[in-house]
Amino acid sequence: MEFRLLGAVSVATETGELPLGPAKRRSLLAALLLRPNHPVPVDQLTAALWDHEPPTRARSVIQGHVSRLRALFAEVEADVYGVELLTQGTAYVLRMPESLLDAHRFEELVALARGQRIPADAVAMYQEALSLWQGPALTGAHPSPPLLAAAHALEELRLASVELLAAEYTRLGEHARAAAVLRAEADAHPLRESLSAALMTALQRAGRRSDALDWFHRTRRLLADELGVDPGRELADAYAVALRGEEWGEPGVARGGTGVVAEPPSPSTTPVSPLRPEPPSPSTTPVSPLQPEPHSAEPPAPGPHTAEPPSPTPLADTIDLLPRMPRGFHGRAAELTALSRAAAGEAPVCLVTGPAGVGKTALVVHWAHRNRAAFPGGLLYADLRGFSDTGTVPRIEVLREFLLALGVAPRRIPESAEGASALFRSLAADRRLLVVLDNAHGSAQVRELLPGGTDCVTVVTSRYRLRGLIASDAARPVPVDVLGPDDGTALLAAVLGKERVLAEAVAARRLAELCGGLPLALRVAAARLADQPDWSLSEMSAELSDASRRLSLLDVEDTGVRAALRLTVSRLPEAAAHHFAHLGRHPGTHFDRCTAAALAGTDPDAAEAALDRLAAAHLVIRTAPGRWTLHDLVRLYARGLDADPEALLRVLDHTVATALAAAVAAEPGDEPCFDLPADFQQPSAIREFRGREDAMAWYAAERDDLTLAAGAAHAAGLHGRTWRIVLGLWPQMAWRVRDGWTPLLRTALEAARADGGLRAEGRVLALLGWILTEEGLVQEALEHLEAAPALASRAGDPHGEATALVNLSLARAALGSPREAAEGCVRAAELARAAGDRHIERLALHHLARHRLDARQWKSALDTATAALALDGSPDPSGASRVLLLTAAGEALLGLGEQAEGIRRLESAADEAEAAGYDEGAVRALGALLEVSADVGLRARYDTARLRLTARS
């Protein structure tokens, strides 16, 4: 078990990460982890979860999150690892071995590294410590001031450790590696003078004096522009050393009395740990950059008696095959940082991948232009045209262009690609080169173009993931995804002007969403708007809202989304292309391998292989293990491809079969809710459910897609499939009765009537009537429920008739007819008993007990509930029936004056309901307990369950 703060706030276990849920819960866990084994008062937790005035129910919300965390810890048996979340008065404490916390291990490793006398050992420990970082600290937590401060403190620790690592490289004499480590962080933190000073020192030691001087001037200008200050003493001293070009002696001793040393920083200057906060010593508090020291170390301006610092090599003298700097580039801060960090490693190959039109080339070219000074050996670029109509560029042509740029005479260039590749590697061996290989189709196309120098950096872009290059050359992936709404809107503003976009801010954001955040689509839309200044963004958004025209509107001349996707699809193997075309017929948004197989008329293994190939080409997106989706624009493109017209019927039958299997798993022993249609096409395979929990998780994940499938079936006139898909959802409807099922059930009722089946109509009417009763629309419910038993009887469906009678009794009771309600339940129990349906018999007895409770017939209600609890062979996989019967028995006992036993029954019901996540049952049991108890804990549990119910409704 591992708790993580150095990146996303998470808890890793042997079975995967715990589903922590919303940001507030992650924030609560983070606040507890920042002070492990120490009580954290509720007011401090409140400050961590809310920026300003907390809600009045803040304490209840915190209690709810604590309860959920405890449940998650119980599921993975955290107590085995010594982990407990305890209450101490008005505080909570997370008891745990601190070795389970990544931030603690990081600090331990850094402390051990600082005590090492052998530099190589220290380097290994610092590297291990820094490898624990998976991104910015406390990612995913609410950005409240306390948590932001803690994240900042952790980041300061990380940066200090990077500086210490570089110092150890210096002690080893590995100045180039020290410079590489520092360069990535100095790029990301350009105003941190200690980083810049250390980088200049490392560059000077590595014999790159001009680079050190250039870095100083860049930093000096940035400090002046951003902060209006001069460089501090440390940076000025490093500049003075580089300016005089002094030689260096033993590590840690600078000649010439400059005071610049390479020894690791003193422990007293190490940032304070957020895990053990202590006030910093006044003597170690850094001077604010807004208040420079009185005696600035700014070097004097050149004059008659001062030598002007030598300027860097003019860029015009550098080999440069890069395309021009892309215009309107915006955002991508994380990807730019990832490129810089990857490029800082030894002989790295960076692999920038993403779907067509996502802006991979623009990202890499922008980054290359920004970092051109880091590659004095030259900047080489080649478009490999891996996704072009004209075919890929022969390898020998790329190598010939590179060799000519490197000064090789045409007659000395080998004729064979192998010979040219060998010459290129030898020439690159002693250079600091950047090689950009754009639009690669495969790993083999790239390998012979990789330079051989350990100081060279190669950046490859591709629509494919190129896993072979990762395996053979340790390529470091830098994935590029679509832009978020804010960055997408900013890209529009870069093309159209800020004034035009700000004038229609809402329409601009909608436009970015309709373009799916795809930079190519955004640029095409912006080009259309720029060409027609009188056309408003609102009008453009309205036109793009028409899905049938969207792709046409996102094409201009030879550029557009369809053209880019066509080239990607044209390179697919036949099987993958076949499956991709059929995915466009899927009525939902997500699919698994069985769904893809049903659409394409294949088997799950073939479908999974095709999906893996499509994912490698960024045509499908894996959202979870075994679960994929399509980008909106890709879905529209796939929908426009010619595909099997029977695909919709096959996938609907697959949906019907899967929903039926889920219902059987969720309610084992219960009668199937429908028979399969006569023309049903049996799918090659459907998902297997391991039990109720698995089935209910599937219902929750697939509800929206099941609704879309029912809508697609109804629109296609496939009425028998429509009502079956809806009825297949009944276990989730019973579990989450107030989740807005009425519109879907009305569609099912219309389809059942169109299909002409009395049994189907009766069952849909019974389910719809029950939902309407629960929603308070009792009179409308009664109209449906009074017809349902007769329809079921005529159809020879005693199970359906009994269910309809039970539901009818609820409506009658709600309208004040308890006697008729009880009679209906008695009749329903008799029908169910005769049919051998113990589940419906128990259900009827439960509601009969409720009606007798309402009539204050305490003894009869207790006898009925007790008989139902003792009923043999009645399936109750969810535990809901038992919870409700225990509640009814407890209420009856309270009515009879047997308070102790009544409370015991109600407490058992509440505990079982909460353990099962059955909020309706928990509310009913806890509400009954509150009638006889004023316990604060009970009130908090009741409020928490009510909050969850309210949130869902």
Say which CATH number the domain at 387 has: 3.40.50.300
| CB of 442 closer than 8 Å to CB of 466 | yes
Structural domain includes residue 182: no
Check whether residue 548 and residue 404 sit in a common domain: no
Nearest CA-CA partner of 199 in 186, 214, 218, 217? 186
Q: How many CB atoms lie within 10 A of CB 138?
A: 29
Q: What is the rounded distance in angstroms from the CA atom of residue 706 to the CA atom of residue 811?
A: 28
Q: Are strands 457-462 and 476-479 parallel, antiparallel or unpaired?
A: unpaired
Q: Residue 840: which of 730, 926, 917, 943 has the closest Cα? A: 730
Which three-class secondary structure state does DSSP give residue 431? coil
Give the chain's length: 953
Residue 631 and residue 652 in one domain = no
Dist CA 110 CA 127 (whole Å):
9
pLDDT at 257: 33
Assess contact for 831 and 802: CB atoms under 8 A.
yes
Q: Answer yes or no: is 530 within a domain.
A: yes
Cβ atoms of 909 and 893 within 8 Å: the answer is no
Beta strands in 511-608, from DSSP E residues, in sequence order = 555-556, 559-560, 590-591
DSSP characters over 22-77: SHHHHHHHHHHHTSTTS-EEHHHHHHHH-SSSPPTTHHHHHHHHHHHHHHHHHHTT
- Which of 479, 506, 530 finishes a domain? 479
Long-range CB contact pairs, 267-271, < 8 A, 24+: 267/114, 269/160, 270/157, 270/160, 271/153, 271/156, 271/157, 271/160
Tell me which residue range forms the domain holding 89: 1-172
Q: Looking at residue 302, what is its pLDDT?
A: 32
The pLDDT of residue 291 is 33
Which are the contacts of 755, defined by CB distance < 8 A and separation ≥ 6?
719, 720, 723
In-domain check, residue 842: no
Domain shared by 15 and 154, yes or no: yes
Task: Answer yes or no: is 337 within a domain.
Answer: yes
CA torsion through residues 414, 419, 421, 423, sign: negative
Phi first, then psi: give them for residue 623, nearest 5 degrees. Answer: -95, -20
The number of folded domains in the chain is 6
- What is the CB neighbour count within 10 angstroms for residue 249? 9
Q: 905 and 944 in contact (C-beta within 8 Å)? A: no
User: In terms of domains, do 473 and 499 share one?
Assistant: no
CA dist 658 to 668, 684, 907, Å?
Answer: 15, 12, 37
Q: Write out 601-655 in H/E/C secondary structure.
A: CCCHHHHHHHHHHHHHCCCCEEEECCEEECCHHHHHHHHCCCCCCCHHHHHHHHH
**N-term to C-term CA, the chain:** 36
> Given this model, what pLDDT does residue 876 score?
64
Give the three-class secondary structure for 936.
helix
729 within 8 A of 748, measured Cβ to Cβ? no
Whether residue 15 sits in one domain with residue 153: yes
Distances (CA, A) of 365 to 315, 370, 491, 724: 16, 9, 17, 54
- Which candidate, 639, 728, 724, places its Cα nearest to that of 680? 724
Domain shared by 352 and 470, yes or no: yes
Cα 28 to Cα 918: distance, rounded to the nearest angstrom: 24
CB-based contacts of 432: which residues, under 8 Å, 6+ apart?
374, 375, 376, 377, 453, 455, 456
Tokens describing residue 18: 């715990």
In terms of domains, do 639 and 649 share one? no
The whole-model pTM stands at: 0.59
CB distance 29 to 12 below 8 Å: no
**653 and 639 in one domain?**
no
Nearest to 358 by CA among 676, 634, 637, 709: 634
Structure confidence at residue 419 (pLDDT): 81
- Residues 345 and 417 placed together within one structural domain of the fold: yes
From residue 714, give the alpha-carbon distance in Å to each of 718, 719, 726, 728, 766: 6, 6, 11, 15, 20
For residue 333, the surrounding DSSP H or E stretch is helix 333-343
User: Which of these three, 479, 514, 535, is where a domain ends?
Assistant: 479
Q: Does 19 share its domain with 155?
A: yes
pLDDT computed for residue 281 by the predictor: 38
In a domain, 748, yes or no: no
Contact indicator for 216, 235 with CB cutoff of 8 Å: yes
Tokens of 725: 């898909």
Partners of 353 in the β-ladder: 462, 479
Q: How far apart are CA 883 and CA 195, in angstroms?
A: 63
Tell me 590's DSSP state.
Answer: E
CATH classification of the domain holding 168: 1.10.10.10
Helices (H), 775-879: 778-794, 798-814, 818-835, 838-854, 858-869
Domain finish residue from 455, 479, 503: 479
Verify that 4 and 144 share a domain, yes or no.
yes
Residue 851: inside a domain, yes or no? no
Alpha-carbon gap, residue 856 to 846, rounded angstroms = 15
Residue 717 has a pLDDT of 94
Are β-strands 433-440 and 457-462 bridged in parallel, bridged antiparallel, or unpaired? parallel
Please tell me the predicted confidence (pLDDT) of residue 8: 92
pLDDT number for residue 761: 93
Average pLDDT by consecutive 10-residue portion of the chain (953 residues)?
92 88 92 92 91 85 91 87 88 89 86 78 84 91 89 90 90 88 86 87 86 85 80 83 59 34 41 52 32 33 31 49 84 88 78 91 93 90 85 88 86 80 84 93 90 86 91 89 89 88 91 90 89 88 90 82 88 92 92 94 94 92 90 90 86 94 83 84 90 90 93 94 93 85 94 90 93 90 91 90 90 84 88 84 87 88 88 67 88 90 90 86 88 84 83 60
Q: Is residue 862, in this structure, part of any structural domain at all?
A: no
Query: Is there a contact between 718 and 690 (Cβ–Cβ < 8 Å)?
Result: no
594 and 525 both lie in a single domain: no
The answer to whether position 799 is within a domain reads no
